[in-house]
């Protein structure tokens, strides 16, 4: 199909049309409101109608004469086109969406807030996997803004968004390089314990009460 102007990015848009049969009288109720008679083209029995014999107000089109039930009226909306185009992956941002327009597990998600992943009896509110040797570095996380280093084997996991309260369960695991004894990960009551904005974590083994761990995994469940 030929065209004038720029090459369409996806496809040609379809012009919206109406087709009416079985009408009588001199008025037609359009499917779309228009502001000017020049926004539509009207045919009666395949004969294009002169604009001077027509008038329009919103969805009411008035013809220059009365219809009989055998007449066929067709209307093309030249000021309205209809088409769809899927956005490219990664091009939709929060600013393009309205709050509560996304549903996760049956619940609306407020943009800029934290999502909750359902897991049956409870839900994962926050999680993090980090390297606790030297300056702590986060490998992956959800609702975690940073890891504070309180000294050897002691960390504070800081939440991006505060939780409802501090009555959550902490699931944790840890490990050091091959050949060392197993690391035990505990909630560190000496460094903040559990709060709605952070949780203190201690990594220990039998040789040293506090020992840095290369792999520390923390999950917060409610």
Report the b/e string of 63-98 with b at 16+ CB within 10 A.
beeebeeebebbbebeeeeeeeeeeeeeeeeeeeee
Q: How many other C-beta atoms are found inside a 10 Å radius of the C-beta of residue 219?
A: 18
SS3 content of the chain, % helix, strand, coil (to 5): 5, 50, 45
Asked if 16 and 81 count as a contact pair (C-beta separation under 8 A), the reply is: yes
The domains of the chain are located at 14-82, 115-221
Q: Compute the average pLDDT of residues 30-36.
A: 89
143: which 2 tokens? Answer: 């609702």
Question: pLDDT exceeding 70 applies to what percent of the chain?
Answer: 75
Residue 155: name the closest of 114, 117, 116, 211 by CA. Answer: 211
Q: What value does the mean pLDDT of the chain take?
A: 83
The whole-angstrom separation of Cα 27 and Cα 161 is 59
- For 138-152, the pLDDT digits (tens) are 999 999 999 999 999
- For 67-105, the pLDDT digits (tens) are 999 999 999 998 665 566 677 788 877 777 776 566 665
pLDDT at 6 over 70: no
Asked if 22 and 69 count as a contact pair (C-beta separation under 8 A), the reply is: yes
Asked if 195 and 188 count as a contact pair (C-beta separation under 8 A), the reply is: no
Phi, psi of 37, rounded to the nearest 5 degrees:
-65, -20
184: which 2 tokens? Answer: 């035990």
- Return the pLDDT at 119: 47
Lowest mean pLDDT among 3-7, 30-34, 129-133, 156-160: 3-7
Residue 190: name the closest of 135, 152, 219 by CA. Answer: 152
């Amino acid at each position: 199909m030929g065209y004038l102007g720029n090459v369409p990015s996806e496809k040609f848009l379809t012009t919206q049309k109406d087709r009416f049969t079985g009408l009588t009288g001199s008025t037609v109720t359009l499917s779309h409101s228009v502001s000017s008679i020049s926004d539509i083209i009207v045919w009666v029995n395949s004969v294009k109608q002169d604009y001077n014999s027509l008038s329009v107000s919103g969805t009411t089109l008035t013809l220059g004469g009365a219809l009989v039930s055998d007449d066929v009226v067709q209307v093309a909306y030249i000021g309205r086109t209809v088409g769809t185009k899927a956005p490219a992956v990664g091009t939709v941002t929060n600013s393009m969406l309205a709050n509560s327009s996304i549903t996760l597990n049956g619940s609306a998600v407020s943009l800029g807030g934290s999502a909750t992943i359902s897991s049956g009896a409870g839900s994962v509110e926050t999680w993090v996997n980090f390297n606790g040797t030297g300056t702590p570095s986060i490998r992956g996380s959800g609702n975690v803004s940073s890891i504070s280093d309180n000294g050897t084997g002691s960390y504070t996991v800081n939440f991006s968004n505060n939780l409802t309260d501090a009555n959550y369960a902490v699931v944790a695991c840890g490990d050091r390089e091959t050949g060392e004894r197993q690391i035990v990960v505990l909630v560190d009551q000496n460094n903040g314990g559990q709060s709605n904005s952070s949780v203190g974590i201690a990594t220990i083994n039998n040789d040293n009460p506090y020992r840095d761990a290369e792999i520390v995994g923390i999950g917060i469940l409610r």
